[in-house]
Amino acid sequence: MIFGLDRALIVFAVGLVVGGSSLTSAADKITFGTDWRAQAEHGGFYQALALGFYEDAGLDVTIRQGGPQINHSQLLAAGRLDFGMSPNSFIPLNFANQEIPVVAVAAMFQKDPAVLIAHASRGHQTLSDLKTEKIMISPDTRIGFWRFLKVRYGFTDKQIAPYTFNVAPFLADPTSVQQGYLTSEPFVISETGIEPEVFLLADSGYASYAAVIQASQKMIDSDPDLVQRFIDASIRGWYSFLYRDPSPAYTLIKRDNPEMTDELLIYGHEMLRRYGLVDSGDAALNGIGMMTQSRWKAFFDVMAEDNVYSADLDYTKAYSLKFIGKRVGMDAVLRGAD
């Protein structure tokens, strides 16, 4: 009887070693919502999915792309997403301002890709040169980075012209200026033969993070290990996307967004690297995903100055720094993976 029990234990142990399917723990199912339709700006997440980094971390991840009629921030707050991607620092601060327990846990972009685009033929040299020009911006931008331009550069609302996410008005008027993303509109404009002059706001003091991963405070408190695994696997995906072959991500991006072209993906990837959107600044020292309290404070102070937020708002409730700054995946860069 004792021998039979010992034998059963041995069989059980062997089953654990070989990883019998009946003894293998099921992966944690995760749904992650991005901020727009699949594009190069989401490349690291798709790379992590394509190369099995999420699977290696015990995660079964579904990436749900955003779009013009999709509000993933609301879905995240309602618990219908496990993680969400915010395009800027406003969204986490808005949650804190409304006392909604959703928190930024990593920022995959150290630089917001937001740009102003002018015609190169106009000869503008600096961002300040644009403060007398009419500028086409969207309603969302008016309550977004436009506030920074007003506080820091003296722009005024009299400059605002409507923007419909169509570059045709810009192409037709050589005096025009419009908003855009570094990884998109400049490419579309240059393809028409018109040379754009591009001003990256992040290089002129705009302190917003971008590609910000958010999670509910409930998840952070109840399953911090899951949050850590998702962030770490995503970071590894971003290092691989930037410094190794990005084509696995391209394949999945085009599967989700058939309108995406290889040319725009390649251009977006080049801009991410050339301008250090992902791994410059604090991320160069402590790894992709890095955030700091001083950076959040700098952004908040500018927006409080323009009365976007009350000066007494506890902005530290907008983010958690416990999951980042661990230099995850940096060994690949140090080995010269590119």
Where do the domains of the chain lie, and which CATH numbers do they carry? 22-111+208-334 (3.40.190.10), 114-204 (3.40.190.120)
How does residue 147 score in pLDDT terms, banded at 50, 70 and 90? very high
- Of 56 and 5, the one with more pLDDT: 56
- Of 249 and 22, the one with more pLDDT: 249
How does residue 334 score in pLDDT terms, banded at 50, 70 and 90? low
What is the model's pTM? 0.90
pLDDT, one tens digit per residue, over 262-280 is: 999 999 999 999 999 999 9
Both structure tokens of 308: 């976007």
Say what percent of the chain tops pLDDT 70: 91
The answer on pLDDT for 153 being more than 70 is: yes
- Of 157 and 71, the one with more pLDDT: 157
Predicted local confidence at residue 23, as pLDDT: 41
| Whole-Å CA distances, 184 to 250, 259, 265 | 15, 13, 9
The answer on pLDDT for 14 being more than 90 is: no
Q: Are 263 and 232 in contact (CB under 8 A)?
A: no
Helix axes 262-274, 224-243, angle to 10 degrees: 100
Q: What is the dihedral of CA 108, 145, 92, 298, to 10 degrees?
A: 80
The answer on pLDDT for 21 being more than 60 is: no
| 3-class secondary-structure state, position 316 | helix
Strand order in the sheet with 114-119: 160-162, 135-137, 177-181, 114-119, 196-200
Q: What are phi and psi of 179, to 5 degrees?
A: -75, 170
